[in-house]
Structure 1
Amino acid sequence: MIGIYFSGTGNSRYCVEKFLQKCDIIANSYSIENSELLQNIHNHEDIIFGYPVQYSNVPKILKDFIIKHSTLWNGKRIFIIATMALFSGDGSGMLSRTLKKYGATTIGGLHVRMPDSIGDEKILKHSLEYNRKLVIKAEKKITEAAKKLKYGVPPKEGLGFLSHIVGLFGQRLYFINKTNVYTDKLKINAEECVVCGKCIDLCPMKNLVIKNDMIVSNGQCTMCYRCVNNCTKQAITLLGKKVVEQSNIEKYM
């Protein structure tokens, strides 16, 4: 068994790693950006797959990864962990249906609420205490789910028809274009930016580059919020106009 994740601020990575620990097995987990991942997918049948839900959908970068490596999924047994701030309906179901096209079988699904990573929207923010309690609840839920998987009765959250309807009409139908394409809405405040290059190193899309002594976006943002949440000058925004809170999983441990 191995773990695979795509993670912006660490929520999905944390959940996958905790799940593997609670299964009491020795297993490694890999980001989809890891150069060793493809060989490890080839060598393992059972996979724990984690990702952050975006508008009840799969992030564009993850969809592209799965399609690009479509031959790898045939015969794999997948348990999906979908992390979210509010709800998704069928977060795990979206990934499950995509993987099924390429021969994978989904054996279970889990929806885990985690601290919100959208650092430039005040309406989504909660207190530090609230988010720390959220992480504690998440670990308890992960522990229970891991036990059920070991006993052969894994949870199947987000995989049914009703969940599909909730996800479709709850968010996805109205925001479908948000995740079908990469966005060009990322903004860098040139007056605040000191061109340290940290965001360039963190970006999974290699979307940020230096031009004319300024950091600019190439319009290929997958909305993972790494740059927004790690910019030392809080000079980067995406959905909002200013950074309200920078959120990484380590903050809530």
Structure 2
Amino acid sequence: MIGLYLSGTGNSKHCVEKFVQLLDENGRTFPIENPQVIEEIKNETDIVVGYPTQFSNAPLMVRDFIRNNSTIWEGKRIFCINTMGAFSGDGTGCTARLFKIYGATVTGGLQIKMPDSVCDSKLLKKTEEANKKIVKQADEKIEAWVAKIKSGKYPKEGLGFCDHIAGLFGQRLWFYGKTLKYSDKLKISDACVGCGLCVNECPMDNLVQQSGGKPVPQGKCTICYRCISHCPAQAITLLGNRVVEQTTFEKFNVG
């Protein structure tokens, strides 16, 4: 078994790693931007795919990854995991439907609440203690479902017709334009110190470092918030105009 993930702040990475390790002690996990991941997929049958939901949709980078590698999914057994700050509707279903088109069998879906990762919005912010409790509950949910899966019972969260309707009308239709294409809204302020950390963090190679200056976005942002979460100068914003709180999984991990 292998696990694949897109993770900006570490939430989805943690959930996929924990799920895979509990289910298969020999299982391995990879970020989807890893250049070796295609060969790994070709050599495995059981695959776990995890990502954060954005406006009740899977990130465009994840959907493109599935579509651009359409020939490798035939005969694979896919388990979908999505993380969410509050609501995702059919977050797992958004990729499950694609996988089925390309010949995969979707064995289940798990939707896991994790701390909000949108650093430049106050909307879903909670106290550190509340976020630690969310992480603890997420771990307990993963552990409980892995035990059931070992007995042959798989969760189907986000995969049903009612979930599809909830995701479609709950968020996706109203915010469809935000996930239809890669974003060109990433902003880097003059607070930038030119350290280049964001350039290395970006899974899309969206940021190009200028000589002696701040990086320039190339309009390929996948809204993962990785650069915003890790910028030491808090100089990067996307949906909002200032960084409210940088949120990475390590901050709330209770061990």
Q: TM-score, normalised by structure 1?
A: 0.97
**Residue 197 (structure 1) aligns with:** 196
- Which aligned segments of 4 or more residues in structure 1 are displaced greater than 4 angstroms? none
C-alpha separation in 2, matches of 1:246 and 1:204: 18
Residue 189 of structure 1 aligns to which amino acid in structure 2? S
Q: Which residue of 2 aligns with 1:67?
A: 67
On the 8 A contact 2:33/2:203 being kept in 1, the answer is: yes
| Residue in structure 1 matched with residue 238 of structure 2 by the alignment | 238
- 2:166 corresponds to: 166
Give the conservation status (yes or no) of the 8 Å contact 2:10–2:249. yes
Q: Unaligned stretches of 5+ in structure 2?
A: none
> By how many angstroms is 1:99 displaced?
0.8
The share of aligned pairs that are identical, in percent, is 54
Partner of 1:206: 205
| Equivalent residues, number | 252
Q: Deviations over 1:109-151 (max 9, x none)?
A: 0000001110000122111000000000000000111112111
Tell me the equivalent position of 2:117. 117
Secondary structure, in 3 states, of the residue corresponding to 1:214? coil
CA RMSD of aligned residues (A): 1.0
- Give the aligned residue type for 2:113: R
SS in 2 for 1:106: strand
Q: CA deviation at 1:24?
A: 4.6
1:5 aligns with 2:5: yes
Which whole-Å deviations, capped at 9, do the CAs of 1:42-69 have from their partners, x for residues lacking one?
Answer: 0111111111001111101111111111
Calculate the TM-score normalised by the size of structure 2. Answer: 0.97
**In structure 2, what is the Cα distance between the partners aligned to 1:95 and 1:218?**
26
Contact 2:18–2:142 (8 Å) recurs in 1? yes
Letter in 2 for 1:247: T
Q: Which residue of 1 aligns with 2:150?
A: 150
Give the Cα separation in 1 of the matches to 2:36 and 2:152: 30
Amino acid at match of 2:207: L
The answer (yes or no) to whether the contact 2:188–2:214 under 8 Å persists in 1 is: no
Provide structure 1 residue ranges, at least 5 long, that are not aligned to the other structure. Answer: none
